Amino acid sequence: MAKVRVLILRVGGTNCDFETEWAFNLAGGIAERVHINQIIKKEKKLKDYQILVIPGGFSYGDDIGAGKVLANEIRLKIWEEIERFIEEKKVILGICNGFQVLVKSGILPFNTKQLVTLEWNDSGRFEDRWVYLKIEENVSPFFKDIPEIIRMPVAHAEGKFLPKNEKVLHKIEKNKQVIFRYCDKDGNLKGYPYNPNGSINNIAGICSEDGLIIGMMPHPERCVLKYYYPDFLKFGNNEIFTPSFKIFQNMIKYFT
């Protein structure tokens, strides 16, 4: 069976593309870093891939807001390809800045106009720390066989999840589109610093209504191996991969 092809979209300011490429390759896929201009110029075709990833970083320097320029570029220059990709039930993953792009382009949560945003952290500063996440019952197929509470690092200044109104929030919650929430080590939902940005309902990641489009602020690609954890000696001697790595594996297995 042919391996799953993964396109990792990059532009000026992207800085987590190599880690993301490595994680998907390690999970059994064939990942490739592709600049958006290569798609615009038809040098690369989105239809040739099964997974599209918008990785973390500071696309275009976040000059008019995190992810906004890239979101506009996607809307104006490659939207037909994106729509076809979604219609074919392929997978899209946005991590940190990629999550910001997905919500500001309107792809998440309902592939309409923009209905949610990721605003400045309540602390008013860049937050770079490890967080606990409680995985919720959700419609996505990519979070199976993962412990209910996991840890990942976050690194962002604009990560506060905010819906346009209560109606939008209620729909996201009712549809089970919330993937995970910030919590303490026991799974209790708490404020800062457990919730590093002040997100409504402690939301750290969401998915589309069919579960195939994922957006998250935490960085799973930065904690694929146990050695990345500050307390990695607590892992068993036979353990190498972390629960976060399972997300990448599940995305590859979805097609195989």
For 79, phi and psi rounded to 5 degrees? -65, -40
Burial class (CB in 10 A: 0-12, 13-18, 19+), 145: exposed
137 an active-site residue?
Answer: no
The candidate with the shortest Cα–Cα distance to 163, out of 101, 118, 110, 218, is 118
Active-site residue, selected from the candidate residues 16, 96, 183, 223: 96
CB neighbours of 126 closer than 8 A, spacing ≥ 6? 155, 156, 157
How far apart CA 90 and CA 62 sit, in angstroms, is 28
221 given a catalytic annotation: yes
The verdict on whether 16 is a catalytic residue reads no
Options 19, 127, 156, 219, the catalytic residue: 219
Would you call 53 helix, strand, or coil by DSSP? Answer: strand
Q: Catalytic residue among 127, 207, 221, 223, which?
A: 221
SS3 56: coil
Active site residues: 96, 219, 221
